[in-house]
Amino acid sequence: QVQLVESGGGLVQAGGSLRLSCAASGRIFSSYFMAWFRQAPGKERELVAFIRWSGGITYIADSMKDRFTISRDNAKDTVYLHVSSLKPEDTALYYCAAGSIAGTNQRSYAYWGQGTQVTVSS
């Protein structure tokens, strides 16, 4: 069983930056992948990035790779998503997820947090 809690969201102006955090607890295996998804109102949930808990493998969606980065601190059991040069279209609820395999589909991940809201104003 894995528990995930996101934090760090908020209201920012266009061009601003945030660091989102995902604190994990429970049984996290080195082979697990940790991912960030986002979902805007009326739209489908989409993959933002993922990272292998033990390191060595990272992925960022093509449309966001120039502005977003993913990292982890195993000592703190925490995964981060750094978002910069934010645009109004980045406004969404951002979720942290964990699973035994990587994937672009949300069903690849068995464990989910409750999400943290990012709102970008113009």
**pLDDT per residue as tens digits for the range 74-106:** 889 999 999 999 999 999 999 999 999 888 899
Report pLDDT for 1.
84
Percent of the chain residues topping a pLDDT of 90 = 84
pLDDT in tens, 16-41: 999 999 999 988 777 899 999 999 99
Can you tell me whether residue 36 is helix, strand or coil?
A: strand
Of 56 and 58, more confident: 58
How distant, in Å, are the alpha carbons of 43, 97, 113 from that of 33? 24, 8, 14
Residues 6+ apart with CB under 8 A from 25: 2, 3, 77
- The span from the CA of 114 to the CA of 48, in Å, is 16
What φ, ψ does residue 42 adopt, rounded to 5°?
80, 0
**Is the pLDDT assigned to residue 120 strictly greater than 90?**
yes
Instruction: Give me the residue label for tokens 């894995």.
Output: 2
What pLDDT is stored for residue 59 in this prediction?
96
Where do we find the tokens 């943290």? Answer: 116
